[in-house]
Structures are given as structure tokens and as C-alpha cells.
């Protein structure tokens, strides 16, 4: 039976030691039309192989003469169960021909290192291969079990399924919700995608509009009681909704304590979109262009186009989605038009930038669109010599700050937590983070037209000094990076 592994265009192979492993490899190579020569010291085994019309030779693989028997082979696989015999065979083959590609069987990591030192190009440890195969089978079995359990729970929905995203959903959360909605539709279950905050970032708004994803704001719903099943995707909360959570699917542990009937949390992948792609595959659905595009963008956004914390699972999910996605739409999502508000915030941030070494901090003043701060921080990261940015502004008697970093020595999430964790709320990780600090902590002054300029001056001085201290730089002598 074929393993599904396709061998390269090389045609000539030799198998030294044709026990159970060697014979399994021989079968696969012959099935793929390869020319295989077998060498084994067991004459009865060799005779049996010849009866199957295989090119089998009787010889001891420990002897130097064996190297001559396989000198015309491009690839030599040394697969005897006796590792000492395999070592001698590698030595003789390398002494006879330095150009042959040699694969050797080890019994443990130590013998594997020894075989590599003797000249083996690839070393195979059967116990490791079996362990990896067992883990893959376990993962596949768990996914099949989870998919069945999820299907059963969703199909028990009497009225409608509520799929709840992050309060202000990002691409991963939106894409994951769209995928779960597609699965629900596949199972004949009606559902709505719900969020509690706002879709603020321009890329996120473009993402939703271009793909035609229908999101409903919780406060705009007239009747909340229609939802008898509730699913949280990608680190959502439901405290304001007063609904029992039935499903959680996420790549991060939730902040709140829930006791749902179904939980699939996988911190070993970088996006919830990766998890949902696996479910799409397990349900054997025809993934729509819109859902495939959304999931692919969700994975790319979470991994910074596969440059941050990318796992093999993220890559295989992206590879599956790639042919189904609309790449013109992806390009439009990634390059949305900039709103006048965002342009104003960016202009203010550029004018007020303070650069210390490769660290930039800027005050964007009073802002209406908080999401414009994150876009300004991202744009300023493109300035020459700048590796870390932080842009802050005042809205609703709160200081909002967005940080970005491409410096591998800095964890911007930790920097903001060190600077403002005790004063307000911070969130994020090594490359992007945010903070919200009550304005009164810094000033104690009530906002009015008369105090506006004073507030901005006091805030700028306090926020910048605290942030530069947390970054480990002296903010006393700043420049605008000119």
C-alpha cells in the first residue's frame, strides 16, 4: 500500500539490510517505478526476494566488497537492525564513493550522531519515526472526535447560535467567526456573528466590507433571548451579555473562568484561524472563497505574514487555503484608503515625534479614533533607524497608547506593562501592544477648553518619561529623528 510519499526523480536505489523496515521501503520504491537493488546476508531471504522478481544480492553489508555491489546506485539506504553493521557499511561506502546519498538507520540519538560523523547524509531513528507517527494519528483522532462533539452540540441548537468575537474584533477573530458560521450553516444551524465594541481599525473595516461578513453589534439587537447556544471565538468575553457559554475555540487561554460543554484551546498554534481551518477540513466542506480569504488573512495577520511565532500547523493551514482565496481582495484589505482622521493623527505623530536611539515616542494629542494610533505606530516604524514606536493620544478622559517593535531585543508588551501596568490596563506581546491609562493619574486636572493645552503638556512629559525609562533609555535629550 502506498504511503502517499512521492520520491524524487532519482531512479537508482540500493537497500542494504532487507528486514521489515528495508522491505517496506523496497515495496514503496518499486511501486513508484524505481530501480532497486537489495543486499542482504540471509540467503533464504534473498532467494525469496528474487522469486518476487526483485534484484537481490547475497552479501554481508559489513564487508568492503558490498560497496562495489552498489557503486552505481545514486542513493544507498542502510536499514539493517544491527547498528554496528550499519556503521561499517557507511564507512565502506564513503571510502568507495563520496558522492552517493546515504541514508542510515540508527537505534538512538548517540548512534545517530556516530552515523552522521561517519558520513551518513540522513539518519533515521525508527523509534522517533514511530513516535511522530503516533502523535500525528493522535492529533487526527482528537480532531475527528472534537469535530463530532462540536457538530452534536451545534445541532442541538433550537433557535440560533450566537458566535461572539472579541469586543473590537481583529482579522483572526472575524475570520474564525466566519468559519464557525460556515460550519453551522453546513450543519443546518442558523447563526449570527456578534461583537460588543466597535470595528475600529481601517484594515478591519475593509476586511469586513470587502468579504461581505455580516457582524451584528450586541446593543443593536432587539431580542437577545433567541440565542440558545453561545460560542466564543478568539479570546472573547461574555460578561456584559449575561449568556451561558457553550463553546470556546481559541489559541489563547481566556481571561475569564468558563465551564462550557465544548472547549478547544491550542496555545501551540499562532491563530484561531488555523484551528478553524482544521475543522473546515475535518467536516469535508467546500470552503467558500470568502471564508478561505478571511482565514488566510487571519493567519497572516496573527503571524505578521509568517514572520512571528509561526508553527507548522499555521503553514499547512495557509497552504490549504491559498488556492481557494481571492488574492486581489487580500491586497485591497492590506492597503485600505486612509481616513482624514487617521491622516491627521499620523501628521500630528510625525510632527511631535521624539527619538532616542532607535526608540520613537510621539504624542498625537486629542483623538477621536483610537485605532488611528495603532496605524500611526505602524507607519512610524518604517522610519529609517527606528525599531520601536509608541504613539499616544487622549480620548474620553483616558490616555490610549499603541506600541510596535521590530527589535528582537525588546518585548513591547512587557515594556508597556512595566511602564503602565500598575496605573491602567495593558495588553499585547513582543511586537505589538497597547495601554489605557486614566488621565487623572498623571494630572488630576479636569478636561475643559481652558485646561486643554496644559493637559497635553503634562501628559506628554509624564507618559514619555515613564515610557523611555521602561525602554531603558534616557529621554532627557530627545530629537525628532531628522
Q: Report the CATH number that the domain containing residue 384 is assigned in CATH.
A: 3.10.310.30
The answer to whether residue 455 is domain-embedded is yes
Residue 282: name the closest of 382, 175, 139 by CA: 139
The answer to whether residue 130 is domain-embedded is no
The answer to whether residue 479 is domain-embedded is no
What whole-number distance in Å separates Cα of residue 3 and Cα of residue 315? 22
pLDDT at 78: 95
Q: Residue 168 — left, alpha, or beta (φ > 0 → left; ψ -120 to 50 → alpha)?
A: beta
* 252 shares a domain with 323: yes
* 305 shares a domain with 230: yes
The answer to whether residue 226 is domain-embedded is yes
Choose the final residue of a domain: 303, 333, 363.
Answer: 333
Work out the average pLDDT over 39-43: 94
What whole-number distance in Å separates Cα of residue 370 and Cα of residue 381? 18
The answer to whether residue 414 is domain-embedded is yes
The answer to whether residue 356 is domain-embedded is yes
Least confident of 105-114, 268-277, 282-291, 393-402: 393-402
* 295 shares a domain with 222: yes
Helix (H, G, I), strand (E, B) or coil at 433: strand
* 322 shares a domain with 197: yes
What whole-number distance in Å separates Cα of residue 85 and Cα of residue 80? 7
Q: Which residues pair with 139 in a beta bridge?
A: none
| Between residues 67 and 208, the one the model is more confident about | 67
Q: Residue 193 — left, alpha, or beta (φ > 0 → left; ψ -120 to 50 → alpha)?
A: beta
DSSP state, 168? S
* 278 shares a domain with 205: yes
Is residue 1 over pLDDT 50? Answer: no
- The pLDDT-based confidence of 187 (bands split at 50, 70, 90) is very high
The answer to whether residue 118 is domain-embedded is yes
The answer to whether residue 352 is domain-embedded is yes
Percentage above 90 pLDDT, the chain: 43
On whether the CB atoms of residues 367 and 391 are closer than 8 A, the answer is: no
Adjacency order of strands within the sheet including 12-16: 55-58, 35-40, 12-16, 75-78, 101-105, 122-124
* 344 shares a domain with 414: yes
Choose the final residue of a domain: 275, 305, 333.
Answer: 333
On whether the CB atoms of residues 67 and 96 are closer than 8 A, the answer is: yes
* 365 shares a domain with 284: no
What whole-number distance in Å separates Cα of residue 31 and Cα of residue 29? 5
Residue 213: name the closest of 174, 172, 268 by CA: 174
* 74 shares a domain with 178: no
- The pLDDT-based confidence of 426 (bands split at 50, 70, 90) is confident
Choose the final residue of a domain: 124, 159, 177.
Answer: 124
Read off φ and ψ for residue 475, nearest 5 degrees: -90, 15
* 352 shares a domain with 329: no
- The pLDDT-based confidence of 4 (bands split at 50, 70, 90) is very low
* 321 shares a domain with 457: no
For 310-334, give one letter per residue: b (16+ CB within 10 A) or e. bbebbeebbebbeebbbeebbeebe
- The domain total for the chain is 3
- The pLDDT-based confidence of 473 (bands split at 50, 70, 90) is confident
Work out the average pLDDT over 427-438: 82
Is residue 41 over pLDDT 80? Answer: yes
Q: pLDDT for 74-117, tens place per residue?
A: 999 999 999 999 999 999 999 998 889 999 999 988 999 999 99
Residue 431: partners with Cβ closer than 8 Å, 6 or more residues away: 304, 308, 404, 405, 406, 412
Q: Which domain holds residue 71?
A: 13-124
- The pLDDT-based confidence of 229 (bands split at 50, 70, 90) is very high
* 150 shares a domain with 109: no
Work out the average pLDDT over 215-222: 83
Q: Report the CATH number that the domain containing residue 112 is assigned in CATH.
A: 3.40.50.720
Adjacency order of strands within the sheet including 160-164: 215-217, 191-195, 160-164, 227-233, 247-250, 262-265
Overall size of the chain counted in residues: 482
Q: Report the CATH number that the domain containing residue 324 is assigned in CATH.
A: 3.90.1640.10
Q: pLDDT for 118-156, tens place per residue?
A: 999 999 988 888 777 787 777 778 888 999 999 999 999
* 361 shares a domain with 293: no
C-alpha cell at 152: 452534536
Read off φ and ψ for residue 379, nearest 5 degrees: -65, -40
Residue 214: partners with Cβ closer than 8 Å, 6 or more residues away: 192, 193
Is residue 476 over pLDDT 60? Answer: no
| Between residues 247 and 244, the one the model is more confident about | 247
Residue 90: name the closest of 115, 126, 58, 60 by CA: 115
Work out the average pLDDT over 408-414: 86
Amino acid at each position: 500500500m502506498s504511503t502517499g510519499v512521492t520520491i524524487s526523480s532519482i531512479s537508482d536505489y540500493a537497500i542494504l539490510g532487507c528486514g521489515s523496515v528495508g522491505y517496506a521501503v523496497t515495496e514503496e520504491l518499486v511501486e513508484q517505478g524505481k530501480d532497486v537493488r537489495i543486499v542482504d546476508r540471509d540467503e533464504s531471504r534473498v532467494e525469496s526476494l528474487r522469486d518476487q522478481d526483485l534484484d537481490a544480492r547475497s552479501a554481508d553489508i559489513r564487508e568492503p566488497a558490498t560497496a562495489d555491489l552498489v557503486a552505481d546506485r545514486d542513493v544507498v539506504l542502510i536499514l539493517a537492525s544491527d547498528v554496528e553493521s550499519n556503521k561499517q557499511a557507511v564507512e565502506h561506502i564513503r571510502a568507495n564513493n563520496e558522492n552517493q546519498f546515504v541514508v542510515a538507520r540508527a537505534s538512538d540519538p548517540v548512534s545517530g550522531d556516530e552515523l552522521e560523523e561517519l558520513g551518513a547524509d540522513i539518519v533515521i531513528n525508527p523509534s522517533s519515526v514511530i513516535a511522530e507517527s503516533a502523535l500525528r494519528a493522535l492529533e487526527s483522532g482528537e480532531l475527528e472526535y472534537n469535530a463530532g462533539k462540536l457538530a452534536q452540540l451545534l445541532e442541538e441548537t433550537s433557535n440560533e447560535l450566537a458566535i461572539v468575537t472579541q469586543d473590537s474584533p481583529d482579522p483572526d477573530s472575524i475570520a474564525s467567526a466566519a468559519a464557525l458560521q460556515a460550519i453551522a450553516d453546513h450543519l443546518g444551524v442558523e447563526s449570527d456573528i456578534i461583537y460588543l465594541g466597535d470595528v475600529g481599525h481601517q484594515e478591519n473595516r475593509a476586511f469586513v466590507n470587502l468579504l461581505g461578513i455580516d457582524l451584528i453589534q450586541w446593543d443593536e439587537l432587539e431580542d437577545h433571548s433567541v440565542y440558545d447556544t453561545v460560542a466564543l471565538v478568539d479570546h472573547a468575553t461574555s460578561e456584559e451579555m449575561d449568556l451561558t457559554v457553550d463553546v470556546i475555540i481559541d489559541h489563547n487561554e481566556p481571561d475569564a473562568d468558563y465551564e462550557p460543554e465544548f472547549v478547544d484551546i491550542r496555545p501551540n498554534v499562532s491563530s484561531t484561524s488555523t484551528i478553524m481551518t482544521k475543522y473546515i477540513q475535518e467536516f469535508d466542506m467546500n470552503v467558500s472563497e470568502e471564508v478561505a480569504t478571511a482565514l488566510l488573512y487571519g493567519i497572516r495577520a496573527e503571524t505578521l505574514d509568517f514572520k512571528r511565532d509561526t508553527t507548522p500547523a499555521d503553514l499547512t493551514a495557509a497552504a490549504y487555503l491559498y488556492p481557494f482565496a481571492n488574492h486581489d481582495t487580500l491586497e485591497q484589505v492590506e492597503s485600505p484608503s486612509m481616513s482624514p482622521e487617521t491622516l491627521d493623527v499620523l501628521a500630528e505623530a510625525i510632527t511631535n515625534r521624539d527619538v532616542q536611539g532607535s526608540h520613537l515616542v510621539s504624542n498625537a494629542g486629542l483623538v477621536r479614533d483610537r485605532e488611528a494610533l495603532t496605524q500611526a505606530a505602524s507607519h512610524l516604524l518604517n522610519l529609517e533607524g527606528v525599531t520601536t514606536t509608541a504613539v499616544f493620544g487622549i480620548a474620553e478622559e483616558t490616555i490610549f497608547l499603541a506600541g510596535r517593535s521590530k527589535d528582537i531585543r525588546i518585548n513591547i508588551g512587557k515594556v508597556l506593562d512595566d511602564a503602565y501596568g500598575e496605573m491602567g490596563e495593558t495588553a499585547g506581546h513582543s511586537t505589538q501592544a497597547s495601554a489605557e491609562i486614566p488621565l487623572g493619574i498623571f494630572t488630576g486636572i479636569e478636561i475643559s477648553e481652558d485646561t486643554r493645552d496644559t493637559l497635553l503638556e503634562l501628559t506628554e512629559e509624564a507618559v514619555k518619561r515613564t515610557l523611555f525609562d521602561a525602554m531603558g533609555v534616557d529621554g532627557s535629550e530627545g530629537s525628532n529623528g531628522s
